[in-house]
């Protein structure tokens, strides 16, 4: 059975597109059955419509209290029988009750080598700190901000003449490689969470 996946995004949607293409190419035993965005006029929404995938705009500002926003998202996930949630440039912290409902089944990509540079503008934080290497991380989502068990990471060098744009582009290239690969492993049930670590089943080594 192909795993039912929901894509959550707030912006451009390039990671969503990398995953979509990997699915189309037959590399992932899953399908994106639903896209949820908190913003109506962004790339991920346009892409989802072009791919003929149901897109729902769920903006917390329209729900008053957090419990109502949470329930709206949970109702949609139930309707589409979603088993895995992929945050791809989704710029909100999910409520704890939501995370608890799908614990171990929510993945996120972050543009730093976690646990360094959590939160917004991770690439700018890396430049300001003067690190020589940074990168990206795919991890399971827990109640914290960018703190859940790490599934995959890729390292990129930081050059002296880098700007936020050049560094972000170099990191993004790696994001598009490791996120689909992590989703592939997730869809094969090859990722075991053991305490705060992710153990990858031996027959499904990261490519
Ligand atoms: C990506 O660089 C992703 O790592 C980052 O937002 C960008 C979304 O790009 N996510 C975060 O910073 C989450 N804290 P995309 O919409 O083109 O995939």
Looking up residue 157, the CATH number of its domain turns out to be 3.40.50.170
Give the residue from 53, 76, 102 where a domain finishes.
102
- The predicted pLDDT at position 202 comes to 77
For 128, how many CA atoms within 13 A lie in the half-sphere containing its CB? 7
Find out whether 183 and 107 touch, Cβ atoms under 8 Å: yes
User: Rounded to 10 degrees, what is the CA torsion of 181, 90, 156, 175?
Assistant: 30
Domain boundaries, position 53: 1-102
Ligand 1 centre from 189 Cα, in Å?
A: 25
For residue 159, with 0-12 CB atoms within 10 Å meaning exposed, 13-18 middle and 19 or more buried, which class applies? exposed
Q: Indicate whether this model's pTM tops 0.75.
A: yes
Q: Is the pLDDT of residue 89 over 80?
A: yes
Give the residue from 83, 102, 121 where a domain finishes.
102
Over residues 68-95, mean pLDDT: 98
Give the residue from 102, 125, 156 where a domain finishes.
102
- 67 and 121 co-located in one domain: no
Q: Is the pLDDT of residue 68 over 80?
A: yes
- 181 and 197 co-located in one domain: yes
Find out whether 146 and 118 touch, Cβ atoms under 8 Å: yes
- 81 and 144 co-located in one domain: no
- 69 and 122 co-located in one domain: no
Over residues 182-190, mean pLDDT: 98
- 171 and 84 co-located in one domain: no
Rounded Cα distance between 7 and 9, Å, is 7
- The tally of domains found in the chain comes to 2
> Could you say which DSSP state residue 160 is in?
T
Over residues 71-89, mean pLDDT: 98
- 158 and 83 co-located in one domain: no
Ligand 1 centre from 111 Cα, in Å?
A: 7
Probe target for ligand 1 pocket from 38, 47, 109, with the most ligand atoms within 8 Å of CB: 109
The residues, ordered by sequence, that sit 6+ positions from 74 with a Cβ below 8 Å of its Cβ are: 98, 101
- 117 and 23 co-located in one domain: no
**pLDDT tens string 16-25:** 999 999 999 9
Return the active site residues.
110
- 94 and 51 co-located in one domain: yes
> Could you say which DSSP state residue 41 is in?
S
| pLDDT confidence band for 205 (50 / 70 / 90) | low
Ligand 1 centre from 51 Cα, in Å?
A: 20
Atom of ligand 1 nearest to the CA of 172: 2
- 46 and 85 co-located in one domain: yes
| pLDDT confidence band for 39 (50 / 70 / 90) | very high
Q: Is the pLDDT of residue 206 over 90?
A: no
- 67 and 123 co-located in one domain: no
Ligand 1 site residues (CB inside 6 A) read 9, 11-15, 88-89, 109-111, 122, 172, 175
């Amino acid at each position: 059975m192909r795993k039912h996946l929901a894509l959550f995004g707030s912006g451009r949607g390039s990671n969503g597109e990398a995953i979509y293409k990997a699915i189309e190419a037959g590399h992932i035993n899953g399908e994106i059955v639903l896209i949820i965005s908190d913003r109506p006029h962004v790339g991920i929404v346009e892409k989802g419509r072009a791919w003929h995938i149901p897109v729902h705009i769920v903006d917390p500002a329209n729900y008053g209290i957090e419990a109502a926003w949470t329930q709206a998202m949970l109702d949609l996930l139930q309707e589409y029988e979603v088993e895995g949630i992929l945050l791809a440039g989704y710029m909100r912290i999910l409520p704890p009750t939501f995370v608890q409902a799908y614990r171990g089944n929510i993945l996120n990509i972050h543009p730093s080598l976690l646990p360094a540079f959590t939160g917004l503008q991770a690439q700018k934080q890396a430049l300001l700190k003067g690190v020589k290497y940074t990168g990206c991380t795919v991890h399971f989502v827990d109640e914290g901000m960018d703190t859940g068990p790490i599934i995959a990471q890729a390292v990129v060098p930081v050059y002296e003449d880098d700007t936020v744009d050049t560094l972000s582009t170099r990191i993004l290239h790696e994001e598009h490689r490791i996120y689909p690969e992590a989703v592939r492993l997730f869809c094969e049930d090859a990722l075991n969470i053991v305490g705060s670590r992710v153990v990858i089943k031996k027959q499904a080594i990261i490519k």
